[in-house]
Amino acid sequence: MSGDEQPVGIDELLERVRAGYERIKPQEAYEAAQGGEVLLVDIRYAALRERDGLIPGALVVERNELEWRLDPQGSHRAPEATSHDLRVVVICNEGYASSLAAESLRRLGLYRATDLVGGFQAWRTEGLPVTSGVGPPPAGHAVHAP
């Protein structure tokens, strides 16, 4: 930030970030995932996943590992990170942190990255599938820091 720029508050930053792409609603995300059109990526921390459950088929990636795991050119990428054309739907607890995470992925060239309006809580409220969060994530979904 240069000396003549004013700091931006988080509410304004979220508004600016969200203006740059179209967010997706839970039912639409569910249908797209069922059709293999999107990769759902759950960035909630472990305590929330254990408390509230998991979205079946979602890739679990801690927020601090997201860019390393989803960069198709990265040395620490997840097997699911196949190309910059991948349509990623980032899911946090209530749909705030996921907006900033989606913007970060877009800066890495994942131009179709978006996030879930209302996050996991909206998914669950709409009655979409959730499995128990007790125990470790499904095989292949646990991610470790680079």
Query: What is the reported pTM?
Result: 0.88
Query: Rounded distance, CA 117 to CA 98, Å?
Result: 9
Query: Rounded distance, CA 39 to CA 29, Å?
Result: 9
For residue 40, the cross-strand partners are 89
Chunked into runs of 10 residues, the chain (146 residues) has average pLDDT values of: 79 95 98 97 96 97 96 95 96 98 97 98 97 60 42
pLDDT at 138: 44
